[in-house]
Amino acid sequence: MFDPSHVQPIAGATGDSILPQSIADAIAPLTWLAGGLYVLAVAALALYGLHSLWLLALFLRHRKGAKAQAEREAATPLPPDAELPHVLVQLPVFNERDVVVRVLDSISRLDWPKDRLHIQLLDDSTDDSVEIGRKAVAKLRTTGIDAVSIHRTDRTGYKAGALENGMQVCDAPFIAIFDADFTPNPDFLRIAIKPLLADPGLALVQGRWEHLNRDDNILTQAQAVGIDGHFAVEQGARGWSGLPMNFNGTCGLWRRTAITDAGGWEHDTLTEDMDLSYRAQLVGWRCTYRIGLGVPGEVPADVNAWRSQQFRWAKGSIQTAIKLLPRIWRGPWSLHAKVCSSLHMTHYLVHPLILLSLFCAPLALLLVGTGVIPWFVLLLGVFSFAVGASAPILVYIVSQLTLHGSKGWRNLRSLPILAAIGTGIAISNGQAVWQAVRGQQSAFVRTPKAGASGTGSYRAKAHSGIPEAFCAIWAIVGMTVGFIGAHTWITPLLAIYLSGFAWMSIHCIRERRARAAKMVRPVVEATDDVAAQPA
């Protein structure tokens, strides 16, 4: 333990005081508090980095076995068509006029006996997409496909409520779920059903997201690399090593009895997918993942749409953690599974930790200038930064080389942008985490999609970018204090924060001005702070 009374005048590299003695004495308690919080923040960030490295190690350990398993499944024939089980395909949509026809068209091409395939368009829309969807469903019915449009005027439960409502209409033993912006390949069901038929204890087969609009702009390129890291490495590590894993809300095939055994769909969190999959595993079911089961889908094409999506994921994940972690830690899972599940569910805590480390850094540097900080504390800070920064980079590199071979190096050019947006989103996601911790409920706001036109009919609410600009300025303050005190070891960390918040601020301001020039109308779709609005 360190005694704050030992604090000396705040000094620079030469030992000369940076601040007058009176000011140094006055801020000494605040400086010590900031120093302690900074150490805790970077140590916690390093813990999440170590978790990423552990998942990477598990992925590398099990990937050959997973490949061999996939080859065995591919060589195993399915039963004759007349003996295949009935499958329900659920398509939850809400004001998806730009993509609803496309997703129905792709579902109609699924290679499955028509007399055993049932399609539900679960439509909670409030715009003309209701009629667009009905016409597309009617067209499918003329081809002999059992397709229905189920329109709810009461949006209770949002997506979870729509899925639960659809299950009451059809009793098919297997249920595939696709969001409106995904276009599964015709062989999806024939690949996904094999593990479920072979293993009666398996609840879910999760597919991998691919990207329809990867090359639209630098934001979509960066997102694609980030999503690949999750689906190639993290989901593979969890699914192949027996760790609890989550359903990603789309591109998965469920066993109906697993859903009912888990208590069905619940809508007290914004990530009903993570909630259900963990509850299913808590009652004894298992989930798995197939890296070869790729499903193309859209990623948000503008910053505000991406912020909207991330807000929902961040808030919902923490809500699910608060809901289920006590049950997990009381349960029979191994310590390994409990720790990994905890780090998985609370991963979005990295964003408030980023903010905490940013705001404490300048004051912590003043404390370093006193000369009373032991060397091992500085070493801990450097080590924590190295782990926190290098772990995701290694995950992204391995994911790109695994999915794309040597061509994956080209995709890694977007890593600086990915680092920037991953930092710049900290304020929005930090707000989401805070709302979840407080128990503040909010609407399920779907992510606007561009569709085939590339523009889309809706836009996410535009943000000012001013808070991010303030964070960028504060990072400059920290770097300045570091240079004055000759503590340049912290410069790389603050440079990442500076670039991330500056990038986010500039792009928010740019999108806001572009939208104002087009005279976009006010928000009409929802009242949440990340609501979508018509273009």
Q: What is the pLDDT of residues 405-423, one digit of tens each?
A: 999 999 999 999 999 999 9
Query: Residue 393 and residue 382: Cα distance in Å, rounded?
Result: 17
Domain count, the chain: 1
Asked if 210 and 185 count as a contact pair (C-beta separation under 8 A), the reply is: no
Nearest residue to 85 (alpha-carbon basis) of 117, 56, 50: 117
Please report which confidence band the pLDDT of residue 9 belongs to, taking 50, 70 and 90 as the band edges. Answer: very low
* 105 domain-assigned: yes
The long-range contacts involving 21-30, CB below 8 angstroms and separated by at least 24 positions, are 27/363, 27/366, 28/4, 29/4, 30/363
Asked if 285 and 261 count as a contact pair (C-beta separation under 8 A), the reply is: yes
Q: Which residues pair with 458 in a beta bridge?
A: 534
| Least reliable range by pLDDT among 159-168, 368-377, 450-459, 500-509 | 368-377
In the chain, pLDDT over 70 holds for what percent of residues?
A: 86
For residue 522, the model assigns a pLDDT of 39
* 125 domain-assigned: yes
Total residues belonging to the chain: 535
In the chain, pLDDT over 90 holds for what percent of residues?
A: 72
Please report which confidence band the pLDDT of residue 22 belongs to, taking 50, 70 and 90 as the band edges. Answer: low
Domain that holds residue 99: 84-233+245-302
Average pLDDT, the chain: 88
pLDDT at 527 over 70: no
Running DSSP on this structure, what letter comes out for residue 451? Answer: T
For residue 11, the model assigns a pLDDT of 36
Q: Which residues pair with 88 in a beta bridge?
A: 118, 175
Query: Residue 518 and residue 535: Cα distance in Å, rounded?
Result: 8
How large is the average pLDDT for residues 258-287?
A: 97
Query: Residue 100 and residue 173: Cα distance in Å, rounded?
Result: 25
For residue 38, the model assigns a pLDDT of 85
For residue 31, the model assigns a pLDDT of 72
For residue 441, the model assigns a pLDDT of 86
Asked if 205 and 196 count as a contact pair (C-beta separation under 8 A), the reply is: yes
What angle do helix axes 415-424 and 491-517 make, rounded to 10 degrees?
80
Please report which confidence band the pLDDT of residue 529 belongs to, taking 50, 70 and 90 as the band edges. Answer: very low
* 182 domain-assigned: yes
* 382 domain-assigned: no
* 112 domain-assigned: yes
- The helix/strand/coil state of 343 is helix
Please report which confidence band the pLDDT of residue 207 belongs to, taking 50, 70 and 90 as the band edges. Answer: very high
Instruction: Quickly tell me which residue has 């081809």 as its tokens.
Output: 143
**Tokens coding 211:** 């990207």
Query: Residue 204 and residue 171: Cα distance in Å, rounded?
Result: 17
Instruction: Quickly tell me which residue has 């989930």 as its tokens.
Output: 287
Nearest residue to 264 (alpha-carbon basis) of 284, 279, 246: 279
∠ CA 151-154-156, nearest 5°, is 110
Instruction: Quickly tell me which residue has 């805790």 as its tokens.
Output: 40
Q: How far is CA 190 from CA 73, 76, 207, 254, 350, in A?
A: 10, 11, 12, 14, 39
For residue 33, the model assigns a pLDDT of 81
* 34 domain-assigned: no
Q: Which domain CATH number covers 206?
A: 3.90.550.10
Q: How far apart are the first and last CA of the chain?
A: 58
Q: Taking the mean position of all CA atoms in its chain, how far away is CA 321?
A: 14
pLDDT at 238 over 90: yes
Catalytic residue numbers read 124, 273
How large is the average pLDDT for residues 47-71?
A: 96
* 312 domain-assigned: no
How large is the average pLDDT for residues 88-105?
A: 95
Asked if 246 and 273 count as a contact pair (C-beta separation under 8 A), the reply is: yes
Instruction: Quickly tell me which residue has 């590199």 as its tokens.
Output: 397
Q: Taking the mean position of all CA atoms in its chain, how far away is CA 519?
A: 31
Asked if 89 and 116 count as a contact pair (C-beta separation under 8 A), the reply is: no
* 154 domain-assigned: yes
For residue 12, the model assigns a pLDDT of 37
- The helix/strand/coil state of 89 is strand
